[in-house]
Amino acid sequence: DTGVSQDPRHKITKRGQNVTFRCDPISEHNRLYWYRQTLGQGPEFLTYFQNEAQLEKSRLLSDRFSAERPKGSFSTLEIQRTEQGDSAMYLCASSLAWSSRKGTEAFFGQGTRLTVV
Amino acid sequence: GIQVEQSPPDLILQEGANSTLRCNFSDSVNNLQWFHQNPWGQLINLFYIPSGTKQNGRLSATTVATERYSLLYISSSQTTDSGVYFCGGSQGNLIFGKGTKLSVKP
């Protein structure tokens, strides 16, 4: 397994456009997380899935943001009508669920850097 | 949700010095991890340490779960240790502190 993979690595978009990011987790991991990170800050939690179920969404996640994990494998994060304030690094992570005897260590992808102009 | 606080926010060291980074969390966690963020933004796993002590080369970490803190020790620091170190605590999803920016001078 090559780890968590995110695509694209970089995205420049005009304000008002929609963008979609993809995350492929480590294959045996049933949990998948999305975070956003701006300059000088720690990653901020957005949402997470266990298998295909979206278990938690942060209040940071406005109505313009939607995430899916339709078959419990890869996930997509879509931002509609992008704003300049959406410019950030979007990070995806995966882990096993807490009940796993292997533990719940999370591993991160390389991130997608979004710039809204 | 839990709050995670890291200290110090910035740390400047001379190469060869030792350092201790601290992470306090406001409630009990079932997962505690330390990461180093590389210049390209990727979070590199250092330790998965819900409790106890672990060592990996010049780095070691200790989590005292009952007192809700974790420490990351860096010994004989090198310039390549520079960067931002994050801890994350979890009751379900990882919540991060604001990080410690470490600069190691030659």
Provide the 3-class DSSP secondary structure of residue A85: helix
Q: What is the arithmetic mean of pLDDT over A9-16?
A: 98
Contact B96/A at CB under 8 A:
yes
Predicted local distance difference test score (pLDDT) of residue B90: 87
In eight-state DSSP terms, residue A99 is T
pLDDT at A17 over 90: yes
Q: What is the mean pLDDT of residues A48-65?
A: 91
Residue-level pLDDT at B93:
84
Question: What is the pLDDT confidence band of residue A78, given thresholds at 50, 70 and 90?
Answer: very high
For range A4-10, the mean pLDDT: 97
Tens-digit pLDDT profile for residues B66-90: 999 999 999 999 999 999 999 999 8
Query: Quick one: average pLDDT of A14-31?
Result: 96
A74 in contact with chain B, both atoms CB, cutoff 8 A = no
* Contact: B98, A41; criterion CB under 8 Å: yes
pLDDT at A12: 98
Cβ-Cβ contacts under 8 Å, B4 against chain A: 42
DSSP string, chain B: ---EEEE-SEEEEETT--EEEEEEESS--SEEEEEEE-TTSPEEEEEE-SSEEEEETTEEEEEEGGGTEEEEEE-S--GGG-EEEEEEEESSSEEE---EEEEEE-
What integer pLDDT is reported at residue A101 of this predicted model? 62
A91 contacts in chain B (CB < 8 Å): 41, 43
The pLDDT assigned to A1 comes to: 57
Using a CB-CB distance cutoff of 8 angstroms, which residues of chain B are in contact with residue A107? Answer: 45
String of DSSP letters for A3-22? --EEE-SEEEE-TT--EEEE
Asked whether residue B7 carries a pLDDT value surpassing 80, the answer given is: yes
Position A113 confidence tier, pLDDT thresholds 50, 70, 90: very high
Res A99: pLDDT: 64
| Beta bridge partners of residue B7, listed in sequence order | B22
